[in-house]
Structure 1
Amino acid sequence: MPSNKTHYRALYRYLVFDGILASSATVFTLQNHCAYTVWPGTFCGNGIATLGDGGLSMAPGASVTFPVPPTWSGRVWARTGCNFDASGNGKCATGDCGGFLKCPGGGEPPVSLVEFTIGRDASDKDFYDVSLVDGYNVGVGVKAVGGTGDCQYAGCVTDLNLNCPADLQVKDSGSVVACKSACAAFNTPQFCCTGDHSTPETCSPTNYSQLFKDACPTAYSYAYDDASSTCTCSGSDYLITFCPN
């Protein structure tokens, strides 16, 4: 995290987000450690504020910082293989969101997701995780900075595209660019935790989800993987790194 963390806290102390006064904004810092450009997408699930206008481009080594208001709930992900025109219309090989640079909704699976629900204030808990429930496209990690509580690291450092089973692979120009979830690949209750498998007691890990879990122990590998994958912290800023070491 940059050394000017205190400066950001002061600067954003009374920012207004979509008409909502934020008494103390959390700060997200996104870093691209990939050897290629990524196009992060952001989506707010509760309508409080859109981060980075919903999407942007980040060259290798780039970083960008966003203030995030209290009670913000949403997701961040990386898109790859994108090509946009001057109006922001185009297409991405992975993580596409309707063909727009500035995402109006979530990313198209398979995609590695960072999920957040920010607390009401610095004493309230933030909840966050890295999820592979919708599959995997890019390694990502979340590090809490300056908070109190458990504040665990969440992430998937291993490149799952290298060992993705053949029936889960997504290819572009002959190369594996993403790895589907078993739910997306086979669409059965067993793999999707639906129907007769819609509860934690009836939806267990599968061979496919276990491959994800073995490679990335702190990431969600299937819908009910809460115990080892949901992280909490209070009063923290967050460093979100694509292709973490």
Structure 2
Amino acid sequence: MAMASTSSALRLRPLLLVLLLAATSEATTFKIINQCSYTVWPAALPGGGVKLDPGQTWALNVPAGTSAGRIWARTGCSFLGEGGSCQTGDCSGLLACTVSGRSPNTLGEFSLGQGQSDDDFFDISLIDGFNVPMDFLPVPVQGRSGCSKGPCCAANITSECPRELKAPGGCSNACTGSTASRCNTSYSAFFKQMCPDAYSKPDDTSTYSCPSGTKYQVIFCPLINQTLSPTAESPLPAPLAEVTPPTPSTLPTAIGPTSMKPKSPSRRRVIAILAPVGGFILLTILFLIAFFICKRQ
């Protein structure tokens, strides 16, 4: 009986060891925030996908050692049950993604190191195109150093997208090849001007790093940074100045070339007195003229 219990314990040891390793392996947390004024459906590999209404967040835990992770925002989605479709960043019509999304989409890429000595590498890529502004920012960890700033793409490229690159819900990128020779320089310069921190062509070097174990936040539609792209968003119209009705002191004294200046009160009184007197004199003269004419006849 004792031998049977001993053999059972021996068989359980590998399973316990696997469970222990899984429990002790660290996962990196990505806080995904939707600051857009519309609903987005973030997708992640690994991780799946969710629906985020404006103001909502998604805490995504990614296993340490993930070598090719991706996060992007899908827009214009319609999911009925398990199936559906998205205007941008679609992944075979599934809410939980198992493959990369169809362009155009703004893509956050990352590679997570293993252990304290390895670094994480991450970037924002526009090679697949653009659909929403994005910030990919590390969360400072006390006692750790060596973390570079995160990439930002706060400009709204969709509103400034060249006509040749316009796509439903976003802006495509001509740099879809694996080499820089396939990339139109005028288009790559446009993306780089709008989002200087982004990885926008195959030979770009806009990659950032942080010590392994750093937490991150991905913000869709961050606050517009006017220093990056002053024309990214049309400025709000200036408020209308308060209009006050004109007073007699502010009214113009002349409206047109034939207008006369207002008469003074004393002048008005003189005219009021002379008018009837003049009329009486005129009538008297007319009466005398008629009288003399009749007398001569």
Length-normalised TM-score, structure 1:
0.76
Change (3 A) 1:23 1:136: same
User: Which amino acid counterpart does residue 165 of structure 1 have in structure 2?
Assistant: P
Secondary structure at the aligned position of 2:117 is classed as coil
Of 149, 163, 172 in structure 2, the residue corresponding to residue 180 of structure 1 is 172
The answer (yes or no) to whether the contact 1:129–1:155 under 8 Å persists in 2 is no
The one of 208, 218, 228 equivalent to 1:240 is 218
The amino acid across from 2:76 in the alignment is G
User: Secondary structure of the residue that 1:68 maps to in structure 2?
Assistant: strand
What's 1:225 paired with? Answer: 204
Which structure's residues are more often helix, by fraction? 2
Question: Counterpart in 2 of 1:166?
Answer: 163
Alignment partners' CA distance in 2, 1:130 and 1:215:
13
CA offset at residue 134 of structure 1?
Answer: 0.7
Partner of 1:36: 38
CA RMSD of aligned residues (A): 2.0
Aligned partner letter, 1:60:
P
Q: Structure 2 vs 1, CA of residues 121 and 101 (structure 1 numbering), >3 Å: closer, same or farther?
A: same
Which whole-Å CA distance do the structure 1 matches of 2:155 and 2:171 have between them?
13
> Using a 3 Å threshold, how does the CA distance of structure 1 residues 106 and 20 change in structure 2: closer, same or farther?
farther
Change (3 A) 1:20 1:224: farther
Kept in 1, the 8 Å contact 2:175–2:201? The answer is no
Q: Which has the higher strand share?
A: 1
8 A contact 1:127–1:233 mirrored in 2: yes
Question: What's the secondary structure of 1:221's corresponding residue?
Answer: coil
User: Percent identity over the alignment?
Assistant: 41
User: 1:24 Cα deviation (Å)?
Assistant: 2.2
For 1:180, the aligned partner's letter is S
SS in 2 for 1:149: coil
**Cα 1:36–1:204 shift into 2, 3 Å:** closer
Return the alpha-carbon distance in structure 1 between the equivalents of residues 178 and 25 of structure 2.
Answer: 39
Q: Does 1:129 align with 2:123?
A: yes
- Show the counterpart of 1:48: none
CA distance in structure 2 between the aligned counterparts of 1:64 and 1:183, rounded to whole angstroms:
31
Corresponding residue of 1:82: 77
- 2 CA distance for matches of 1:183 and 1:146? 33
Post-superposition offset of 1:66: 1.9
Unaligned runs of 5+ in 2: 1-17, 224-297
Q: Which AA in structure 1 matches 2:196?
A: P
Structure 1, 210-219 or 61-70: larger mean CA deviation: 61-70
Superposition pairs for residues 1-245 of structure 1, below 5 Å? 20-44=22-46, 51=47, 54-72=48-66, 73-85=68-80, 87-147=81-141, 148-171=145-168, 177-183=169-175, 192-194=177-179, 206-226=185-205, 229-234=206-211, 235-245=213-223
Asked if the contact 1:122–1:236 (Cα under 8 Å) also holds between the matched residues in 2, the reply is: no
- Using the alignment, how far apart are the partners of 2:102 and 2:174 within structure 1? 15
The structure whose Rg is larger is: 2
The Cα of 1:218 is off from its aligned counterpart by: 0.5
Report the Cα distance in structure 1 between the residues aligned to 2:87 and 2:159, rounded to whole angstroms: 17
Q: Quick check: 1:205–1:222 contact (8 Å CA) kept in 2?
A: no
CA displacement at 1:155 relative to structure 2:
2.3
Structure 1 distance, partners of 2:100, 2:24, is 24
Greater relative contact order: 1 or 2 (C-alpha under 8 angstroms, separation 6 or more)? 1
Return the TM-score normalized by structure 2.
0.63
Rounded Cα–Cα distance in structure 2 between residues aligned with 1:63 and 1:22: 26
Cα 1:204/1:80, change in 2 over 3 Å: closer
